Amino acid sequence: MDTFNHSRRLLVGAAATGVLGAAMAPAGAQQGSEGKPDQPPKDPTTAYPKPPFPKQQQPWPGLTSKMSPRPDHGETSYKGSGRLKGRKALITGGDSGIGRAAAIAYAREGADVAINYLPAEEPDAREVAELIRAEGRKAVTIPGDIKDEAFCKKLVADAVQQLGGLDILVNNAARQFSRDSILDISTEQFDETFKTNVYAMFWITKAAIPLMKPGSTIINTSSVNAYNPGENIIDYAATKGAIMIFTKGLAKQLAPKGIRVNAVAPGPFWTPLQVTGGQPADKLPKFGEDTPMKRPGQPAELAAVYVLLASNESSYATGQVYGAVGGNGGP
């Protein structure tokens, strides 16, 4: 086919159907291309709740329904466009927070999704499963403690068996304890933080790689703390630094196999992790206020990053860390 003529036909066709006209319409027009409403720019400083927030604290691991304000995971806003059609994803910590936002977005992009979480988080997990099924996609819920190596192996095996494959792995679960002094960090806490955040990622990734085909992607959740550690969460920050550098090393190792490995580095996000001991209770009302954006992020604001890193569209990105930090620090 003659490319020029082909492009010309497309142009003529587009003009005839009004696509070009709409794309060139002056700012302020209400109707975008193909009759879809326009997407006016949204001021990020006022787009979501700002501090002060009500005083609150929940027993760990916490539930979304008990947070005030309730975090936004894109339940009513995320619109998919088939970018992950037919893909199979496993997301740890997929019940709440950032993992839930990724799970909803993946389903709306056409993926089947398995989520892991702790048994105490069953109500959150059920809500996510319902949202995934509402998109006509398969939802697999696999509760269990990822501090256990045997469970991590079983988690991957069960997810692969129930999904019928695995091509997106999101290592997202984590534990964060706020302690003002290193003298207050027990060996047990240090161990729990590293087991949950680093060892589990290692075990789950190791179990998944042999089952992943070229084109698969691994996405790890690191943090702004990998670059600019909070002085009250130094054990957690150390795990996030480890995740960041593990991501970069593994990316080099797996690139020849066609498997990409990237990380996301969020700044302060409004999730159960923060209201269950991740931050001191008296600091929560001002959570996120110290960022240039003057507010915390909402999980919904990260969904598109997880989608991009999973999709074929980011095929040259590996070993990268994508930040969304509200303007302070980060990659």
**Contacts (CB under 6 A) with ligand NAD, residues 106-135:** 116-118, 121
Active site residue 236: yes
The listed partner (Mg ion, ligand NAD, none) that binds 269, CB under 5 to 8 Å by sort, is ligand NAD
Residue from 227, 236, 306, 322 carrying the catalytic annotation: 236
Cis peptide before 61 (omega within 30 of 0): yes
Looking at beta carbons, which residue is closest to ligand NAD? 97
Residues 6+ apart with CB under 8 A from 73: 64, 97, 100, 101, 104, 298, 299, 300, 303
Encoding tokens for residue 173?
A: 């679960």
**Contacts (CB under 6 A) with ligand NAD, residues 166-225:** 172-176, 196, 221, 223
- If one asks whether residue 127 binds Mg ion (CB under 5 A), the answer comes out as no
Q: Which is nearer to ligand NAD, 7 or 154 (CB)?
A: 154
- If one asks whether residue 322 binds ligand NAD (CB under 6 A), the answer comes out as no
Q: Which is nearer to ligand NAD, 80 or 93 (CB)?
A: 93
- If one asks whether residue 22 binds ligand NAD (CB under 6 A), the answer comes out as no
Residue from 104, 204, 207, 273 touching ligand NAD (CB under 6 A): that is 273
Separation between Cα atoms, residue 274 and residue 266, nearest integer Å: 13
DSSP letters of 220-271?
EE--GGGTS--TT-HHHHHHHHHHHHHHHHHHHHHGGGT-EEEEEEE-SB-S
CA 57 to chain centre: 23
- The contact set with ligand NAD (CB under 6 A) reads 61, 93, 95-99, 116-118, 121, 145-147, 172-176, 196, 221, 223, 266, 268-269, 271-274
User: Which residues are catalytically annotated?
Assistant: 236
